[in-house]
Chain A
Amino acid sequence: MTQEAEPGRIYVDTQHEDLVHDAQLDYYGCRLATCSSDRTIKIYNVSETSYELSATLQGHEGPVWQVSWSHPKFGVLLASCSFDGSVFIHREIRPRDWSLVHVARRIHDSSVNSVAFAPHEYGLKVAAASSDGRVSIISCQNDDDWSLEYIEDNALGVNSVSWAPSGAYHDESNSEGTEISRLVTGGCDNRMRFWKLQDSGQWCEDSQSQVSKDLCHSDWVRDVAWAPCLVPNINMVASCSEDRTVLIWTQNGRNEEWKALLLHTFDSPVWRVSWSVTGHMLAVSSGDNDVSVWKAGVDGTWSQMSTVEDTPETQHDG
């Protein structure tokens, strides 16, 4: 099963003409989408040590900040959000041939900073967070009918949005009920906010579970990421901020308080956090190009995983 190949790095010349703002591999890790200030999105086929530019998607009128791949059960869909206030959803209708399935042009008054497909269990939905202080939820109804809802977050702007994974919450009293979708946002007011979809179809802030004030960010929250969840009602969210800290928020039980744990204070602002697919491993990018990977120990403390030579023996005890 193992493929013997030399370890090393694959360098992809992105061919973008300006800064690249996001890069995402698709569900299977075969395809890479990058987006840039040059207003384009580029799709690469990545295989072994080679890569190949598959398509260049245009249409945005400003820098494209983020892209998100959908679950493959909806087909090859890619959502992108841009400075121009638009969210586009692209579909590859046949290899290398992309078309726009949905164009939500200027749904926001300001830059759209983050876009994320919902877990596929919730249907085909996209959340987009904007500097105009709102989060928009674009959902696909039947027959390619797209609806748009807004969540009023904070007036200063929202930087990031992340969906709760399906199965994050479990209500014993309501075992047959459909699951409530939730999301978390991180904004320029230095706060995170938890939102849930009420039965009435309205989004409201999750007022049942408090967010602890003991430890909080003192600058813009740059990114939030809800960890994959294996034990219902025990949830974890990572948030990073320009105050150079990464906080891990845990909630032990439904409607319990979210408690923060300081992962680390970095030397420079922290831009992105990302969980591994199994959770419990967190990658953090700070400063210019520093990516570090952190892992939770058995006792709940977090340690940075480093290169092999300075790795103590504690590592393979997981």
Chain B
Amino acid sequence: MAVPNKEVVASLTERSTDPLRSISLSPSRRFGVIAGKDNLQLVKISPDGLKRLRLLNITQYLQTNVPSGERQSQPAKYGDVRDTFGLGVPKQSTQRTMSHGNIAVTCAAWSSLQQTEQQASETSDQTPSLDAEKANSIIAAAGSNGVVVVWTSGSFFPGGGGGSMGNPQPEGYLNQHSRAVNSLAWHPRQPGLLLTASQDATAKLWHRKDSIDRKGEDKRKKSNWFANKANTKDSKVYQWKCIATFKPKNEAIRDIQWSNFQDDIFALVTVSGSLIVYNRYIGMRALAKVAAHDGDASCLDFHPTQPYIIATGGSNDNRVKVWDLESNITMSKKDDHNISVNAGTLNTIRSETENSANSVSSHDTDKSTPRLETSNSSNGIRSLNGFSQNSSTLSNTTLSRHSKVSSPLSLHVLSISAAVTKIKWRPSASSVMDDDEVDRHESMLAVASARQASAGGSGVLGLWSCDRPFMPLSVVEGHEKGAIGDFVWLETPYRNTKPTSHPLVSSAEPMDKSRSGSVGRYSPSTTTDGTVVLRGSLRGDAESILFDNKEKDDERRAAPRIWQHILSVGRDGRCLVQSLVRGERPMSRIPPSCFALANLSPFQTGYGSLQVFSVYQNVPKGAENDMKLTGLRRDQYTAQAPGIFKEEMSDEEMEFDRSDGLDFFEPGRRFPDTSPELVFNVVDGGKLDSSGLPINEDVEAICIAPEVLHLSRFASSYQLYPDSELTARVDLCLHNAGIAENLRRDSLARMWRSIASMMQGAGLDELPKAGTSIAPTNVMQFVLLPTVKSLLLERAEAGDVQTCVAVCEVLQVIDSDQNTKIPGLDITLLREWYLSYIDLLEQMCLFSASAFLIQRCNDPVIGAMNQNSTTIHESCSTCGKPLQPSTEPGGTTRKVCKTCRRPVGMCFLCHQPVTALYVWCQGCGHGGHLECALKWFGGFESEPPREICPTGCGHRCNFQKMNS
């Protein structure tokens, strides 16, 4: 509720009028390409913010260069299917013959052509030089007409190689899709491999081939060769060829992505909500098909460090689901482990893969289930909720055992509460921050969602943890007027300014090794287990590090990074860098404590008094817990680090010394870590000290007002009606005054006494009848009525309804004609008092007191409460059927049940007719004389108390020991 958009750190000044659909970063992550409606924009990301380098209208490429020769090879049309799902597609489905203006750019993707292991990892440390990046990376853009155009990125940069400034010359046109291409995916490690996913229900794998390629068969060698060639900036002519087509279903494919770890594996999601995983060499059979979402599945993302974990987002069911497809993806044979489990391994041999593929059908039925199980349970997965982990494991073992293709239940389901447009796992932090800092990023996802369905609405971007499936950890809403089309994570370098404060443990292994070794199961990253500390501290000029990478390369490599900025493009035409650190924390909106006031039941200590109970739970909140909860840090180290953007810190943030409070922090702890406890603050035990105050032995207990505390005592000890001992109302008043005095309520005692003395002085024992206009014979009569009236009103305003009702009853303020004897005091007001007092009594289970009051009250409305809500149904204790009214003329007593013809009202013990008080068990309905019941159940005459009904019906009537 503070300044809006405080989370926006930087934005592109040139705001597009048209929606922006897609963004992709260059390999160095210093440039981005944005797909606008009809253009591509080259953007520089620097500490100064975002800067647009170039705006290029590319519809001409998409439209004009459609070789007609390939048109014949386009797949059969799925017109009907497409039409069915056309609505869920964000882009306008277009026909081939559309006019120039109607072709929209649907997405863009930037990839490196350099083949290094470093770049296989998403947090590439080695920043290629600008020149290298220009020459060795490649940009693909797709259009709504199904054409994909590929450029070398150098041609995009002003003054770069390739074509002229105005018209970069495309390297290739990929145009076999008959409808819009929804997603592009470059292979993360093998350059020149591009997957396109289209509205026309196919996904195609394209390969960049040298036109004079001689060894087309050997993929591995060829790609290496390419890379080498590219490094030497040999200007070759490349050909693009579709080498595989995948038709998973007859429905549009929404998103496609390569696995980060297995070179041949990719996954896609379709418009009907299926998640389908393929091996690129096995086109005819998917490795896994999962019905992931109800309706449209809009996006997916492979986990950055866990090979088999995929997150999918649904735009229709507003959920993000996390899947463990290890059983589906991995092969059962032992040598399968050789296949591409390690990052950057390029030794994938086709024959091996195909061998494994042959066995897919045989193994995935019988092996999948146990595998999944072990993967879940053996690692002690820290980021799994206990319950969801159990449920998924259990369900998988039971459900999928007999299914042909195992369809695992999702590990996590996040309820986003808005249509999900894009998801991206948070990349793992690149290294240890500090000796007490650990990477908590693994299980976090950034989720972009649209407030309203796919069209308008603001774009919300939230950071979600699998541990907290209903609440984002941090939310940024910079895109106010349009959904977020695409986003990428930006890293925030972290500058350790106090390296000497902790003993440095020099790491034997370079950081890169520990990172590349972090390929593992769904388990804490390896950075958590070591005491790997920075080898060198960063003291250099912060700003220069990013760009002077030649000198600072070593330092940069060692610089730990944290991922908390997001560069996003939206339908509102804006391109923003938002800081999740500055986002709103929905957690802080949740009250950490809850409490309630209640009256104690008769079964509780301090019966009749008020009590406050509250819940004590450890809720992470505030700055000191923010890092634990979100993995986002906001302090002088990140804000002033050699970051991408300098952020001004508030004083509050500066003050916070974050070195405190983290010592006890254990990785993976879930908050709250203990189950919440509810605490009743029993106020007192009903004991009073000499001054009449409750004795309170618990210092933290809360002292409660005496009038509430004593309500039950007064209720049981006040005498409201004359009887044989106290015949006069004056005596009643004096009696009640004595009670108040005993309970140390002197003001109440004085009140009762003054009423008594006024009555005595007036010479009356009751108030004069209403309407009688007898002239007062003495002064006391004159002041009596006004005094009582003001007294009552004063007590009512103080909330002391008990005193009000007691005075009214003693003085018989209400007469039988529904009038009050006190002028100006309305009967309805009195009725309110009576009703609320009766309600209070009943709430405290003082039923006899309330029944007595109802019975004796002169007001017929109150008196009628006895009949309210009271229905007595009689039923025969023998057969249980309702007793029918006697049909005999004049017969009002029912002695015989009409159903079973047995006498009614016989005692269950002595079998004699009961003429006096009949008591019965509410459970079985049997009863009889009170004495007989007491004899049987109460342990009379040293007999042990019995529990079972004497009729032998087997009912345990007496389950509590009767109080003597």
Contact = CB atoms under 8 A, between A and B. Distances in A.
Given A29-B601, A61-B415, A285 B594 contact: yes
B773 interface: no
B678 A277 contact: no
B447 to A, nearest CB: 16
Given A19-B619, A23-B613, A285 B679 contact: no
B612 A73 contact: no
Contact of B678 (A12, A30, A47): A12
Interface in A1-20: 1-20
A141 B364 CA distance: 56
A253 interface: no
Contacts of B804: 230
Contacts of A279: 799
Contact of A288 (B417, B593, B707): B593
A2 B694 CA distance: 13
B676 interface: yes
Contacts, number: 284
Contacts of A308: 693-696, 703
A25 interface: yes
Contact of A19 (B590, B606, B744): B590
B110 interface: no
A312 to B, nearest CB: 11
Contact of A307 (B601, B701, B844): B701
B617 A11 contact: no
A309 B699 contact: yes
Contacts of A231: 793, 796-797, 829
- The size class of the interface chain A forms with chain B is 35 or more
Contacts of B693: 308, 311, 315-316
A305 to B, nearest CB: 5
Among A4, A7, A30, A172, chain B packs the most CB atoms within 10 A around the CB of A7
A19 B676 contact: yes
B869 interface: yes
Nearest to A66: B594
A14 B703 contact: no
Interface string B693-712: 11111111111111110011
A228 B594 contact: no
A13 B685 CA distance: 22
B1 A46 contact: no
Given A1-B712, A20-B617, A291 B470 contact: no
A73 B595 contact: no
A7 B705 contact: no
B675 A276 contact: no
Interface residues of B, number: 96
A10 B679 contact: yes
Interface string B593-614: 1111111110111111010111
A87 to B, nearest CB: 16
A285 B869 CA distance: 37
A167 B605 contact: no
A18 B675 CA distance: 7
A201 interface: no
Contacts of B744: 316
Given A20-B594, A307-B702, A7 B685 contact: yes
B379 interface: no
Interface string B244-270: 000000000000000000000000000
Given A28-B601, A230-B833, A316 B691 contact: yes
A269 to B, nearest CB: 8
A6 B708 contact: no
A195 B45 CA distance: 53
Interface string B708-733: 10011100110000000000000000
A91 interface: no
Given A25-B596, A285-B595, A311-B703, A317 B747 contact: yes
Given A6-B685, A8-B698, A280 B835 contact: no
A62 B596 contact: no
Contact of A48 (B604, B614, B829, B836): B604
A21 B594 contact: yes
Nearest to A17: B387
Contact of A11 (B679, B796, B801): B679
A63 B470 contact: yes
Contacts of A34: 615, 678
Given A17-B675, A167-B835, A295-B705, A5 B828 contact: no
Nearest to B828: A170
Contact of B702 (A2, A11, A305): A305
Interface in A273-311: 274-281, 283, 285, 287-293, 295, 298, 305-309, 311
A37 B470 CA distance: 8
Contacts of B683: 7
A38 B679 CA distance: 20
A279 B799 CA distance: 6
A175 B685 CA distance: 44
A242 B747 CA distance: 39
Contacts of B829: 170, 231-232
A232 B832 CA distance: 8
Contacts of A3: 605-607, 686
A285 B591 contact: yes
Contacts of A313: 691
Nearest to A31: B601
Nearest to B713: A1
A49 interface: yes
Interface in A232-286: 232, 234, 271-272, 274-281, 283, 285
B684 interface: yes
A64 B609 CA distance: 29
B6 interface: no
Contact of A220 (B1, B800, B844): B1
A84 B317 CA distance: 12
B840 A22 contact: no
Contacts of B796: 230-231
A222 interface: yes
B797 A285 contact: no
A73 B604 CA distance: 23
Given A283-B595, A308-B703, A84 B415 contact: yes
Contacts of B605: 3, 5-8, 48-49
Contact of B697 (A7, A277, A287, A305): A7
A27 interface: yes
Contact of B610 (A7, A11, A12, A281): A281
A24 interface: yes
A36 interface: yes
A277 B700 CA distance: 22
Given A38-B387, A272-B595, A285 B614 contact: yes
B843 A278 contact: no
Interface in B546-575: none
A219 interface: yes
B773 to A, nearest CB: 23
Contacts of B619: 19, 288
Nearest to A233: B829
A285 B844 CA distance: 24
A307 to B, nearest CB: 6
Given A25-B613, A228-B836, A307-B696, A9 B702 contact: no
Nearest to B413: A61
A110 interface: yes
Contacts of A316: 691-693, 706, 744-745
A286 to B, nearest CB: 9
Given A23-B678, A29-B600, A30-B603, A4 B685 contact: yes
Given A7-B695, A230-B804, A278-B707, 8 more contacts: A2-B713, A7-B605, A19-B619, A230-B836, A234-B797, A276-B708, A289-B593, A307-B700
Interface of B: 1, 385-387, 415, 417, 470-471, 589-601, 603-608, 610, 612-617, 619, 621, 672, 675-687, 691-708, 711-713, 716-717, 744-745, 747, 793, 796-801, 804, 826, 828-829, 832-833, 835-836, 840, 843-845, 869
Q: Which 3 A-B pairs have the closest CB atoms?
A: A271-B591, A280-B799, A29-B601
